[in-house]
Amino acid sequence: MANRAATGGEQVRQSIRFGRIAGIPIGSHWSVLVIMLLLVWLLALTILPASAPGEPAGLYWLLAVLAAVLFMAALLAHELAHALVARHYGVRVRAITLWLLGGVSELDGRAPHARGDLFIALAGPIVSIAAAGGFAVLAAGASLIGLDPLVVAALVWLAIVNVVLGVFNMLPAAPLDGGRVLAAALWGLGLDRAAAQRVAARAGMVFGAILIAAGLAQVIVLAWLGGLWLALIGWFLITAAGAETAGTRLRETVGDLRVADVMTTPAVAGYAHQTLDDFAARVAGGSPHRSYPVLDIGGRLTGVVTLAQLGRVPPARRPTTRLADVQTPRDRTAVLDPQTSLVDAAPLLLAPGHRLAPVLDREQLVGVVCSGDLTRATELASLGVRPSRQQDSPSATTEGRAE
Ligand SMILES: [Zn+2]
């Protein structure tokens, strides 16, 4: 649905990866499983029996599963279209994640010109409409050669949902594809890029509010609970449009700053085999941070520890407990790439409960960055000053700690 420059961290943690297409990692948020089950259930018990009655129950379930899988494949094709066109314009595609109401292509950076943005946004809906056409032709063919009406019904349903997907996404309201088309068009017509994106995001909020009102009206006036879906989608649109506006505003202040520009380097780190007492005395005492990357003997990141975690270990056990025993392990730690833009890193840095992200360049720890660094950069930017990289306090290099 939307092609947004999402920060990998949060999304990756909640999603299941299942391979690559054209070199792009493809994943799925856990909510897709719920939607799939709901879809299969709806198709098997309601939609298919209504359009092709009198078939054996098992056949309904079989066709329902097939149709739901094909629907997901069409959704993936929509996202792949965004991603491949983005790559054509030199925008790196980090991953594609299927999600509750569609998919997200995680793009790094933006197209260099309005035409690029326009084609990236248009590619998805075009593929959805083309898929709809394909399923319609197959349905007509299946009907002509006299295939089971159930097969025809499933193909007709696939054609309809893909038309709906294509058309809904072309509504001129960010973060829908149509909103991006609108922003690209306004940009191409001479408005500056940020202003164009603000207009599209505002349209997204207005449209979201209309959907919520329409949905609630259906629930209240028509006593039809299906209206809740509409309200839910409206709420999602408003939230996403709000996030877009915040992103645009941030982009205007911190501009092209990257993680590397604001991170603290070299990073103060502990070693996995170091005891808590040793770490506290030799490292934590002389540094302003409250959480620290932990490295193995080869210098690879094994996790992150916070002072609070260390404090929870009884004093008597601190001389023998090692950082490796208390750290939050690497696979549950959000890490950043030095080249990631601050705008893209912002959602992760500002996430509740987040303290500090190790910055890794080809698996080498090159620095750490925290929400304070981002806030400092925005405040400096509003003063017209570009932040200089922060040096960490006395002799606190990762090298210096190698025992
Ligand atoms: Zn799309």
For 250-259, what is each residue's pLDDT tens digit? 777 776 788 8
- Give 106 Cα–ligand 1 centroid separation in angstroms: 12
Lowest mean pLDDT of 7-21, 283-297, 301-315, name the range.
7-21
- Give 374 Cα–ligand 1 centroid separation in angstroms: 30
pLDDT at 16: 76
Strand partners, 29: 15
First to last CA, the chain: 51
β-pair type (102-108, 92-99) = antiparallel
pLDDT at 392: 52
Bind-site residues = 78, 82, 177
| Vertex 1 angle, CA 201 and 90, to 5° | 85
Prediction pTM value: 0.67
pLDDT at 396: 38
pLDDT of residue 11 exceeding 70? no
Lowest mean pLDDT of 6-10, 124-128, 155-159, 191-195, name the range.
6-10
- Give 105 Cα–ligand 1 centroid separation in angstroms: 8
pLDDT of residue 77 exceeding 50? yes
Strand partners, 2: 104
Catalytic residues: 79
Q: What is the average per-residue pLDDT within 195-202?
A: 88
- Give 218 Cα–ligand 1 centroid separation in angstroms: 27
Q: Which of 71-75, 90-94, 112-116, 266-270 has the highest mean pLDDT?
A: 71-75
Span 212-243, pLDDT tens digits: 999 999 888 888 777 888 888 888 888 888 87
Q: Which of 63-67, 222-226, 315-319, 361-365 has the highest mean pLDDT?
A: 63-67
pLDDT of residue 6 exceeding 50? no
Q: What is the average per-residue pLDDT within 47-61?
A: 88
pLDDT of residue 307 exceeding 50? yes
Bind-site residues for Zn(2+) = 78, 82, 177
Q: Which residues contact 73 (CB under 8 A, 6 or more apart)?
A: none
Specify the residue for token string 């909640």. 14
CB-side neighbour CA atoms (13 Å) of 278: 15
User: How many CB atoms are located within 10 Å of the residue 165 CB?
Assistant: 23
Q: What is the average per-residue pLDDT within 66-90?
A: 91
- Give 141 Cα–ligand 1 centroid separation in angstroms: 29
Q: Which of 97-106, 137-146, 282-291 has the highest mean pLDDT?
A: 137-146
Dmax over CA atoms of the chain, in Å, equals 81
Q: Which residues contact 30 (CB under 8 A, 6 or more apart)?
A: 14, 15, 16
Sequence ranges of the domains in the chain: 5-254, 259-399
Query: Higher pLDDT residue, 239 or 401?
Result: 239
The fraction of the chain above a pLDDT of 70, given in percent, is 89
CA dist 395 and 268 (Å) reads 9
Instruction: Tell me the pLDDT of the chain averaged across its residues.
Output: 82
User: Given 3-state DSSP classes, what are the helix, strand and coil percentages for the chain, each rounded to the nearest 5?
Assistant: 60, 15, 25
Q: What is the average per-residue pLDDT within 92-100?
A: 78
Q: What is the average per-residue pLDDT within 39-58?
A: 88
- In CATH, the number for domain 259-399 is 3.10.580.10
